[in-house]
Amino acid sequence: MKRIKLTIVSVDKKIAEGYKQDIEKFFNGTIEIEISSIEKHEIIKEIDADLILISTYSIFRLVKQYASKDCEIIKINTTLSKKGYEKIRNLPVGTNALLVNVGPSTATETISLLYNIGRKDIELYPYYPEIKEYPKLDIAITPGEVKIIPNSVKTIIDIGNRVTDVSTILNIITKLNLNKEKYKQKILEYCNETITANYGIRYIVTENYELENQLDMLFENLNEGIIIYDESGIIKDSSGSANKLIMNDYQNIVGEKVKDILFINENEVHVLNTVEKVLKINQNDIIATIVPAKKVGLNNGGIIILKKFSDVERKMHEHRQMVMGKGHKSKYRLNDIIGSSQEIKKCKQIAIRMAKSESSVLITGESGTGKEIFAHIIHNNSKRRDNQFVAVNCSSFPENLLESELFGYEEGAFTGAKKGGKQGLFEIAHGGTLFLDEIGEIPIHLQNRLLRVLQEQEVMRIGGDNVMHIDVRIIAATNIDLEKRIKEGQFRKDLYYRLSVLPLSVPSLRERENDIFEIFEYYRKKYKGKFALSDEVKYFFKNYGWDGNIRELKNYVEYFANLEKLIIEKNDIPISNIEKQDVLKFHEGVNNIENTKVNFEEELYTIILKILYTYYRQKKKIGRKQMSIELEKQNICMSEQEVRNYLKILEHYGYVEIGIGRGGTKITQNGVNKISKL
Ligand SMILES: Nc1ncnc2c1ncn2[C@@H]1O[C@H](COP(=O)(O)OP(=O)(O)OP(=O)(O)O)[C@@H](O)[C@H]1O
């Protein structure tokens, strides 16, 4: 292999020798160094080198003539050795001395060097052999030129030959494209042996080194395994514990592909946001946090933190995922609420007004009506929008886990508690909004605690004695009748009042029939469905009960989009034929309602009206479900859909009033009159 060649050019051969020694010593003979001197303003021969170093800029033009076209030329920066500096370090402030060197420029250069490295407080006067006038001083300082010091001088301070500055060493490494890592330690040593006037470089070299050292230590001592990978998913660095977790011994995994090592897909490696995955590696459950590293210059690379986790932690993790699944960021905007019905427009307006307030909101409505979207919208339009939106589904946690999720715990609070404790969701949501979904499911004991937090705006972690002030806005949602729960003694009245300062009732899809097809169309486009609905199917959907509301509708659209059919027929609807017939029959009935001869002698209408009358006397409304239960008591089997059909027809005749949502049905005065005549 060809050795790298460096040529040093200087006016004075002796000086060049000095530089050669410094550089040779640093590179430990791995670089070939030649000296080319200048005689009578000429260079003896052409320079054939990979890099040329010159002692002064005054010879630059001359050297350039002898150098090959693309060979770079850099000037050697010089400085003092530490030993030399020590000799002048203790000179008293205000000392006057001659600075002796071979010529005027070298003398002034040395004065400025001493000034730059810190001796600004002594007065130095240049002295060189041809000088005509100079002050007669007792002290002379010289970089090795003792012979030319005038005899009158009493004290000679020889600071020794000037040495190559670390900045030149760094220049050589960079220009010759040498492996910086290899010289890291040597650069640091060189910095310590010499004095440099280049404080910036010194700072960067030593500080970086210390930082790197600390990082290396941290890297190796963390229990978690760390993997750093580049944009091709290739591992660039890995900590000992990562190697141990993955390979079961300390075998190095640098150079391997992340996906092959962790058995995951390529797209799981290149993530846009931090994700957590649970992996099974070497019979161990490992939780891998994959952090994209755009900001640290790895492009699409990233960092993976690997951690073994116990059963307790796994449970915690699963539950955390339930919470995190809902995200700590608000994702919906007003435009995500599709529909132009008056009902939904009004609901949006109310939500926006509520957003401007700081009071608690209670969102009610059937399942799948969009309560959660409304919670996001209220947060997004409030002044808390730049802070966390933390959503938690109260029904998805066992009681004790919900408590620790909400309020957090201190280390050692219970067996299996994580080291360092855990932040509760109230703390996480500080400054933002906490969305408590399915609040009706929260157990009584926690209701007490929740109420206290809301009243006092303070939380205390489980097992802790530190009270933390929190500023969190609560939005709660429920699809069950909380007032009923209160009557049953299952929900605290005072908590209910505190939560429902601003009540928002989201209408069911049944109450806004006109929105059905608008939402249908929105999701059809979203799922890239190419289908159209047959007329019969359209009638069906218009008259369908939509108990699952928009969530159910959305599922239908997704299902149809996957069928890849152009026209969706009745038989494509994935529900039982009986229910389908009911709906369609009803449709025909309602379509022909004007002509429908309702035979009130027919027992069924009478029975239904009578049940309604009984409820009316008890000042109660009755829902479809309850109606079919009441009918069953009289040995009449009728589905909720059938009940709905009968009620619609009774409504058409003005005998009943069907309430919106789950409001239930009430007999009218007409209806009362009707049955009294029967
Ligand atoms: N107006 C709307 N336009 C479009 N999509 C909607 C609308 N309302 C709800 N959705 C969608 O319907 C689904 C159910 O909404 P969401 O989860 O907000 O309902 P929910 O009332 O909170 O239900 P649950 O009580 O079961 O938690 C979601 O996928 C949501 O995106």
Question: Which among 338, 511, 550 is the best mutation to test ligand 1's pocket, defined by most ligand atoms within 8 Å of the CB?
Answer: 550
Query: Which residue lies with its CA nearest to atom 8 of ligand 1?
Result: 370
Residue 378's pLDDT is what?
A: 95
Residue 491 and residue 361 share a domain = yes
Query: Whole domain around residue 428: which residue ranges?
Result: 326-505
Q: Which of 505, 537, 553 is the last residue of a domain?
A: 505
DSSP secondary structure string for all residues of 203-229? HHHHHHHHHHHHHHHHHHH-SSEEEEE
Q: How far is the CA of 328 from the centre of ligand 1 (A)?
A: 18
Q: For residue 276, give the CATH number of its domain.
A: 3.30.450.20
Instruction: Report the Cα 425 to chain-centroid distance in Å.
Output: 17
pLDDT for residue 495 is more than 90: yes
Q: For residue 662, give the CATH number of its domain.
A: 1.10.10.10
Residue 552 and residue 610 share a domain = no
Residue 621's pLDDT is what?
A: 80
Q: Which of 157, 177, 202 is the last residue of a domain?
A: 157
292-297 mean pLDDT = 61
Query: Which residue lies with its CA nearest to atom 23 of ligand 1?
Result: 368
Residue 410 and residue 480 share a domain = yes
Question: Which among 372, 514, 525 is the best mutation to test ligand 1's pocket, defined by most ligand atoms within 8 Å of the CB?
Answer: 372
Query: Which residue lies with its CA nearest to atom 26 of ligand 1?
Result: 367
Of ligand 1's atoms, which has the minimum distance to the CA of residue 437?
27
Of ligand 1's atoms, which has the minimum distance to the CA of residue 479?
25
Q: How far is the CA of 386 from the centre of ligand 1 (A)?
A: 23
423-438 mean pLDDT = 90
- The reply to whether 598 falls in a domain is no
Q: How far is the CA of 549 from the centre of ligand 1 (A)?
A: 8
Residue 498 and residue 351 share a domain = yes
**Could you tell me which residue, 635 or 612, shows the higher pLDDT?**
612
- The reply to whether 455 falls in a domain is yes
Residue 418 and residue 344 share a domain = yes
pLDDT band at 311; cut points 50, 70, 90: very low
Residues 58 and 55: their CA atoms lie apart, in Å, by 9
Residue 659 and residue 545 share a domain = no
Q: Which of 157, 177, 198 is the last residue of a domain?
A: 157
Residues 350 and 363: their CA atoms lie apart, in Å, by 11
Residue 367 and residue 279 share a domain = no
Indicate the helix (H) or strand (E) that contains 486: helix 482-487
pLDDT for residue 312 is more than 50: no
Question: Which among 551, 552, 556, 557 is the best mutation to test ligand 1's pocket, defined by most ligand atoms within 8 Å of the CB?
Answer: 551
Burial of 135 (0-12, 13-18, 19+ CB in 10 A): exposed
Residue 127's pLDDT is what?
A: 94
Q: What angle in degrees, to the nearest 10, is found between the helix axes of 13-27 and 166-175?
A: 70
- The reply to whether 58 falls in a domain is yes
In single-letter form, the type of residue at position 371 comes to: K
pLDDT for residue 80 is more than 90: no
Residue 395's pLDDT is what?
A: 85
Query: Which residue lies with its CA nearest to atom 14 of ligand 1?
Result: 368
Indicate the helix (H) or strand (E) that contains 589: helix 577-591
Of ligand 1's atoms, which has the minimum distance to the CA of residue 332?
31
For ligand 1, residues with CB inside 6 Å are 337-339, 365, 367-373, 437, 477, 479, 519, 550-551, 554
Residue 550 and residue 423 share a domain = no
Query: Which residue lies with its CA nearest to atom 16 of ligand 1?
Result: 370
- The reply to whether 642 falls in a domain is yes
Q: How far is the CA of 366 from the centre of ligand 1 (A)?
A: 10
- The reply to whether 316 falls in a domain is no
Residue 517 and residue 492 share a domain = no
Residue 496 and residue 395 share a domain = yes
Q: How far is the CA of 437 from the centre of ligand 1 (A)?
A: 12
Work out how many domains the chain is built from and give that number.
Answer: 6
Residue 200's pLDDT is what?
A: 63
Q: How far is the CA of 628 from the centre of ligand 1 (A)?
A: 28
Query: Which residue lies with its CA nearest to atom 10 of ligand 1?
Result: 370
pLDDT digits (tens, 9 = 90+) for 94-131: 899 999 998 888 888 888 888 877 788 889 999 999 88
8-state DSSP, 51: E
Of ligand 1's atoms, which has the minimum distance to the CA of residue 393?
27
Q: Which two tokens stand for residue 499?
A: 């939560």
Query: Which residue lies with its CA nearest to atom 18 of ligand 1?
Result: 370
Residue 472's pLDDT is what?
A: 92
- The reply to whether 579 falls in a domain is no
Residues 329 and 523: their CA atoms lie apart, in Å, by 23
Helices and strands (DSSP H and E) totals, the chain: 26, 27
Q: How far is the CA of 1 from the centre of ligand 1 (A)?
A: 70
Residue 40 and residue 173 share a domain = yes
- The reply to whether 120 falls in a domain is yes
Residue linked to tokens 């808390």: 384
Residue 379's pLDDT is what?
A: 94
Residue 516 and residue 490 share a domain = no
Query: Which residue lies with its CA nearest to atom 12 of ligand 1?
Result: 551
For 5-9, 286-290, 454-458, 565-569, which range has the lowest pLDDT when averaged over its residues?
Answer: 286-290
